[in-house]
Amino acid sequence: MPFTQINPYKGTNPRCWVRLRFRAVDGSLHERELVADTGSPCAVILNQTDLGLLLHAAAAGTNSNFGPLTGAWLELNMPELALTNQILSFGSDHVFQAVQLENPDFAGLVGLLFLRLVEYGGDANWFWIRQAGAAP
C-alpha cells in the first residue's frame, strides 16, 4: 500500500492542506503545514524567514496579487512521495499573514505546480496526497 498523507480540513474557513518537509543546507529537516491552493501558479510560497532558512540557491522573483515574491530554490525531503528534489519556491510575508488568519499552524501555501507532482483528492472531511502513479 503506497504512503498517503491524509489531513482533515482546518481553519476559520476549512481549508485543505499538506505537510511538507524541507532540507536546509546544513542538513536539518523542517516540516511546514501549507494550504493547498490550486488557484496559485507557484509551487510553494513561505514567509521570508523560512525562505532564508531553507534557501539552497536564489532564483528570480515574480509578482502576484499579493505583491512581489522573492524567488528561491528549496529542497523537498519527502521520499515517501518520491520527492527529494529542489523546487522553485517563493517568499511573501503577505501570503503568510493571509494563511495565518485562517489557522496559525499554516506556514504558507502550495499551488498547482506542486500538486501536479503528486496525486491529490479529497471529500467533505479529508484532503489527501500520495506519490504520483501509485496504485490506490
pLDDT in tens, 8-58: 999 999 999 999 999 999 999 999 999 999 999 999 999 999 999 999 999
Domains in the chain with CATH codes: 20-125 (2.40.70)
The number of C-alpha atoms within 13 Å of 82 and in the hemisphere containing its C-beta is 9
pTM score: 0.94
Task: Please give the C-alpha separations between residue 35 and each of 26, 32, 100, 116, 136, in angstroms, as whole numbers.
Answer: 26, 10, 10, 15, 23
Per the listing, cell 532540507 goes with 23
> What confidence tens digit (pLDDT) does each residue in 77-115 have?
999 999 999 999 999 999 999 999 999 999 999 999 999
d(CA 94, CA 108): 10
